[in-house]
Structure 1
């Protein structure tokens, strides 16, 4: 059978409107002591342009230069930074260990870090806040707490972080998997990605599969005594990371997990996510939907992939319903024929079009 004409990827290729560019400048900003958390940041575009604060996903996902390509560099001053514990920020979970890098690494800390970075870069007026996945969570929490800082919210792949959202992606049918691996016993991402789910589930011993997130967290929390322990932790981190990275694309690149398959990235990404998820994101249940009235006066644009299996579309629906009930109906809501990743072609086009069409900051 000739399969050569089938679509092999849904990720962005030549759809970018703006070229890949070098940062104008970069640095490390000290935001905390004992341990000395330092945020790595980069600035792109027009230094005198409208500021855009880019919030990456994860938690623990880190930034890359391609993330500046959503924005017209002749109009915007684009700020990318790596959140605590990951990327080029210091310390990191991968190089310094979780005991250090996860100390004072909470949602409150990350929100405060945005304010510190904004101040250090001389941003005194309103700024656009652009976030996807966990970045959308952080953007919403930041706007709820500091609405006067925010000119516009641009959100992609809404993640509300409630228990049901996490169970959908990480628990699924794991408890009954050994007896019925393909049974639809519970809702979950595994329905669409059964082969990828197999690798994620089978990393955990059968008796521990009743709570997959807790089982992974126990491996991450173990203090390695030898090379075998370290290898077990790395295997678990890679399984966690590759599971999310693979299912982020509507059409996965089966032979290339990209950064999600790199040891240092996976160790940061998996352990920071497990840390936040074990602590319910360090916010009260329903925090966003219960406080969304505070952003009623902030123009908000939402882009969400119809086929998103990391953050299903119903999360955007729940947010929009709460916003409407509080007089905060979004300026736009675009559903793309895409999965979760910001690098899916239709999502790139939608986000770029929104940024190109925003009215100037007053």
Structure 2
């Protein structure tokens, strides 16, 4: 049988409108002491253009130059930066260990970091804030606290961060998977990705799968004293990271896990995510939906993949309903035929179209 004509990926191929160009400036900006957190940043596009603050996902996902391609380089001044503890920011979980990198690493600190970077780069007026997944969470929190500094919110893959949202992704049928691996006993992403789910659960003993996130956090909190313990911790970090990387794509590349399988990336990504999730994102319950009235005057644009299994569409639906309830519906709400990743073709096209069509600041 010839399956060669079946599409092997949903990822962006030649849909990009704007080229990948080198950063025009970069640096390491100190933002805190004890420990001395410093953020790595890059700037793209027009130095006199409308500022765009790009907030990456995770938390712990870091930025990459390709993320600058959503924006017209003649119009926008685009700031990419790595949040605390990941990417090229210091201290770094992989290079310096979690004790330093996770100290003073909370949502409040990340919001303050955005303002510190704004000030350091001379951004004095309003800016566009562009964020996906955890970046959408951080963008919403920032706008709730500083609506006067936000011209527009451009949000992709909405993550409200309620407990049920985390259980959908990380818990599913884990408690019974050892006995009945194909039981559809609970909602969850495992339903669409059974092989990847089996690999994700592998580092956790069946007896500990009643709370998978807590079991992983226990492994990440170990201070390894032997090569075997270091290996176990790394394998767990990679399993956590690859699970999210796999289910982020509507059609995953099963032969290549990309950055999610890289040891340094996985250590940062997994341990920072587990740190934030264990503390309920360092936010009060229902913080975003309870405070959505504070962004009533901010133009909001939402793109969400209909087949998203990391952040199911229900999360975008809740945000849209909350905005409609206060008489401030989003300027655009686009449901793409895509999964979670920003790098899927329809999502790239939608986000680029929104940025091209924004009214000027």
Q: TM-score, normalised by structure 2?
A: 1.00
Distance 1:169 1:327 in 2: 32
Give deviations 1:18-38, integer Å, cap 9, x for gaps.
000100000000000110000
Q: Deviating runs (4+, > 4 A) in structure 1?
A: none
Question: 2:69 aligns to what?
Answer: 69
Q: Which residue of 2 aligns with 1:241?
A: 241
Q: Is residue 354 of structure 1 aligned with residue 321 of structure 2?
A: no
User: Secondary structure of the equivalent of 2:207?
Assistant: helix
- Residue 323 of structure 1, CA deviation: 1.1
Distance in 2 between the 1:123 and 1:356 partners? Answer: 21
Q: Which residue of 2 aligns with 1:273?
A: 273
Matched, 1:7 2:7: yes
Match of 1:23 in 2: 23
**SS of 1:116's equivalent?**
helix
Q: Distance in 2 between matches of 1:205 and 1:51?
A: 48
Secondary structure of 2:53's aligned partner? strand
Work out the CA distance in 2 between the residues paired with 1:202 and 1:63.
29
CA distance in 2, matches of 1:221, 1:55: 27
CA deviations on 1:232-251 (whole Å, 9 max, x unpaired) are 00000000000000100000
**Deviation per CA, 1:82-133, whole angstroms, max 9, x where unpaired?**
0000000001000111110000000000000000000000000000000000
Pairing 1:343–2:343 present: yes
Aligned to 2:128: 128
SS of equivalent residue, structure 1 residue 294: helix
The residue number in structure 1 matching 2:211 is 211
Once the two structures are superposed, residues 43-85 of structure 1 have per-residue CA deviations (whole angstroms, 9 ceiling, x without a partner) of: 0000000000000000000000000000000000000000000
Q: 1:324 matched to which residue of 2?
A: 324
Distance of 1:63 and 1:84 partners within structure 2: 12
| Distance of 1:6 and 1:201 partners within structure 2 | 30
Equivalent residue number for residue 47 of structure 2: 47
| Structure 2 equivalent of residue 221 of structure 1 | 221
CA contact (8 A) 1:38 1:91 kept: yes
Residues 206-256 of structure 1 show CA distances to partners (whole Å, capped at 9, x for unaligned) of 110000000000000011010000000000000000000010000000010
Is this contact kept in 2: 1:37–1:91, CA < 8 A?
yes
CA distance in 1, matches of 2:309, 2:230: 30
Q: Where in structure 1 are there 5+ consecutive unaligned residues?
A: none
| 2:106 corresponding residue in structure 1 | 106
Q: Distance in 1 between matches of 2:241 and 2:326?
A: 36
What is the CA–CA distance in structure 1 between the aligned matches of 2:285 and 2:22, rounded to whole Å? Answer: 40
User: 1:252 aligned to 2:224?
Assistant: no
Decide whether the 8 Å contact of 1:293 with 1:327 is kept in 2: no
How far 1:325 sits from its partner (Å)? 1.1
Aligned mates of 2:210, 2:59 — CA distance in 1: 24
Is 2:262 the partner of 1:284?
A: no
RMSD between superposed Cα atoms in Å: 0.4
**Alpha-carbon distance between aligned partners in 2 of 1:328 and 1:247, rounded to the nearest angstrom:** 32
SS in 1 for 2:308: coil
CA shift digits 1:266-298 (9 cap, x unpaired): 000000000000000000010000000000010
Map 1:52-201 onto structure 2 (within 5 A).
52-201=52-201
Deviates more, 1:210-219 or 1:315-324: 315-324
- CA–CA distance in structure 2, aligned partners of residues 265 and 347 of structure 1: 24
Structure 1 residue 326, shift from structure 2 partner:
1.6
SS of residue in 2 equivalent to 1:211:
helix
User: 1:293 and 1:329 mapped to 2: Cα distance?
Assistant: 11
CA distance in 2, matches of 1:201, 1:188: 14
Q: How many pairs are equivalent? A: 361
State the TM-score, normalized to the length of structure 1: 0.99
